[in-house]
Amino acid sequence: MRIASPKAEVKIKLPHGAPLDPNLRAAVFDGGMPKDHALSDWATCHTTDNLGEPIDEGEKHGLGVTSALLFGSLNHGKALRTPSAFVDHFRVLDKKSLTAPQEDYFDVLERISAVL
């Protein structure tokens, strides 16, 4: 897998196998993840109801958030840790979210509440 940062692209080797506790699940509410993401062994992306088109930057951000939850910080030359749990990533942002003032994110809160 390659991770792009503002300064460089970093090659990483993903671990193999199940998380440390396969019965534990974590939830992320964010911008989604690209369809071809490399984290499918540990992360499942869900789309909530009443959602418009995804945002490219939102999917990149969601992938980064989910990766950080699974593996922690990336350290050059160090192997990634085995994830602690599986992750359910719920996309709650869409293109309408780009134009809405943050104090008007009621539709996003409703999407999160519906999942919970």
Q: Which domain holds residue 93?
A: 31-115
Residue 36 maps to a domain: yes
In this predicted model, what pLDDT tens digit does every residue of 4-36 receive, in sequence order? 555 556 678 889 999 999 999 999 999 999 999
Percent of the chain as helix, strand, coil, to the nearest 5: 30, 20, 50
Residue 63 maps to a domain: yes
Residue 53 maps to a domain: yes
Q: How many domains does the chain have?
A: 1
Residue 67 maps to a domain: yes
Residue 11 maps to a domain: no
User: Rounded to whole angstroms, what are the CA distances from 32 to 26, 37, 43, 93?
Assistant: 15, 10, 11, 8
In this predicted model, what pLDDT tens digit does every residue of 28-85 receive, in sequence order? 999 999 999 999 999 999 998 889 999 999 999 999 999 999 999 887 778 899 999 9
Let me know if 11 is exposed, middle or buried by CB neighbors in 10 A (0-12, 13-18, 19+).
exposed
Q: What is the pTM of this model?
A: 0.85
Residue 93 maps to a domain: yes
Residue 50 maps to a domain: yes
